[in-house]
Chains A and B, each alone.
Chain A
Amino acid sequence: MKVRVHVSLKPGVLDPQGRAIQHSLEGLGFSGVHDVRAGKLIELEVDDSVTDDALDDMCRKLLANMVIENYRIERIAA
C-alpha cells in the first residue's frame, strides 16, 4: 500500500523558502497571500503488514527532524 508522509516546519520556525515563495507570488501580482510555509511530501510503498507504530518510528528516526518539523502519516488504499 501507499503511504504519504507530510513533513512541515513547526510553527515559529522561520521558513526562508516559504518567505521567498510568498514574495514571488506578490511579484506575480497575486494579492491576499499572508504566509507561505514550504514542506515535504514523502511517498512510501510498503507491505500491508507495516504497522502504524513502525511508520511513526520511521518518521521520528529519519523522515522528520523533531527539533524543527512535524509530520502527518496518511495511508492511501491501493
Chain B
Amino acid sequence: MAKILIAGSGFAGHYGALILNDILKNKGTHEITVITPNTTFNYLPSLVWVGVNKMKAEKTQFNLKKIYDKVNINFKHAFIKEVHPDNNFVIIEPSDIDSDVKNLNNKHSGKMLSENANGKQHSTNGKAYNENANINKPNNINSANIGEANQNKIEYDFLLMATGPKLNFEATENLNPEFGYNNSICTPHHAMDTAKNYLALIERMKKGDKAKIFVGTGHGTATCQGAAFEYIANIHYDLVERKLRDRAEITWLSNEPKLGDFGMDGVEVRKESLIYTSEMMAEGVFNYCDIKYQIRSHVHKIDDKKIYTENIDGEFKELDCNFAMLLPPFTGNSIKWIGKNGEDIKEKICNPAGFIKVDAAYGKSYEELDGPDWPKTYQTQLYKNIFAAGINFAPPGPLSKPNKSPNGTTISPAPPRTGYTAELSGKAAALNIADMVEGKEPSHNASMADTPGLCVASMKEGFFNGLAGTIAVYPVARNRKEYPEYGRNLDYSVAEVGKAGGWYKVGLHYSFLYKLQAKPGWKIIP
C-alpha cells in the first residue's frame, strides 16, 4: 500500500489527486490524502467577472470535502508547516480558514467600506483573508516540538507539492489591497472587495467625477498579465455599457517588454503569407478601446493619490490614480524543509524565490535556455519520491526577455504556469507517481516546451454579447531545437479577438467546474 500526500488543491493539486485516485483505484489499496488550508476549489480564471460585479463569487467555487468523500480521497484541512524528506513525513497545522464565500458574513464580520481623504474606497476588514495563508501564518511548529505535534505528523511514500504561490504583495510598498490603495482579483475575497470598490467608483463617476484607472502588474517580476488584460478590457466595456466611458482614463501599466507579451514572449500567428503577432492584437484592442499604455515598468509604491513607477530606461514617474488593479509577483511559500539532522535544507530544494527545483536544467542564461531544458516529469532530483507541479515548480528561466533598468531594477515578467499549464503539470506528476507506485520509472512528460498554452481572455462578459481574446500557442516555452524559426509550431498559434472566444470562455468556466467536481464523464473532458 502506498501513502500519497498531495499538498494543495488548485488546478495542479486537485486535478492531480482526481487523476491519481482514478488510476490507482483498481490497483491495490492505496491511500491518497489532500492537505489544503482551503475548504473550496476556486476557479480563479472567472474572478475577472467577479471583480466587475458580473458574476457572484460562489459560482467560481465548490466544496472540496464533498468531492473527496465521493471519490474516497482523504481531506486534511490544514497548512503544511514542515517537510522532512529524509524521513518521509510532513508536519501540518489545522487550518481555520473557511474559503467558502457563502460563509463570508461570519469570516468578515465587522467588515465595512470607508472612504479615505481622497474619496477612495478602501477595505477595513480587521482580518485579512488569504487563500495562501499558509505562508503568512507564523510558523510556530518546529523540529524541537515535533513531540507535541505528533498528531500533526503525516507520513508519506510519495509527495506532490502543489500549494500554489505566495501572493507577494509585500514586494511593492502598499500594494496589498488591505492598505486600501490597490485592488486584486487573485482570490475570491479579493475579487469581491474589488467589485465593491469598483462599484463605489462608478457611483462617484455617475455624480460627475472623472477617474484615472490603472490595471496591470504591480512589480517588475509579476506574471499573469493575461488576467490583468481581461480585467482592463472588462472595465472598458462595462463603462461603455454604463455610458461612463468618457469619464475614465484607462491605462495598462505592465512590466512586459512589449505589448501582448503576456509573460511568454508573445505569440506569432501565420495569416496567409503574413506574420501577425499578439503585440498587434493587444495594440489593436488598446487603440480601439482608447486604453493608454505604459509598458516595461516596475511599480515601487502606490498610495492614495499616485503610483510610483520606474521604466526600463531608469526614468521615475508619478502617475495620478483613482483606482488600481495591479497584480503582485509570486514567490514560493514558507514551508520549512528539514534534513535528517534537523538542519534547514530549503536552499537545496528550492530556488531563491522559494519554488521547488525539479528535473529542469537550471543555471542557463536566457539566450542559452531552450525547450529541452524545461522540466518534463516534475520529479525533484534530490528526493525521487517528491514531485512539484503548478506554480510550485521552479522554472529554469523566464520566457520573456529579461531586462534591468540602469538603476539595477529587474523588469522581467516571470513565466506563467497557471490554469491549463498547471493542470497539465499536476496530471503528469500524478501519472508519474502512479508509475512509481507500480515500480516503474516516471514516464509522463508535460514539459512546457512540449505542451500547448491556451488562454481565452474575456473582454466582455456574456454569451451573446461577450467578446474575448483567444490565444493558443504550441509549445508554451519556445523550443528552437524542434522549431528553429520561431521556436513554436505556427500551425497551432492563435491570437484573435471575437465572439467565438467569448463563447469558449463561458464554455470553459462550466466544463472545468464540471470536470473538477468529478461528475459523470469528467474523464473525457480534456
* B and A form one assembly: no
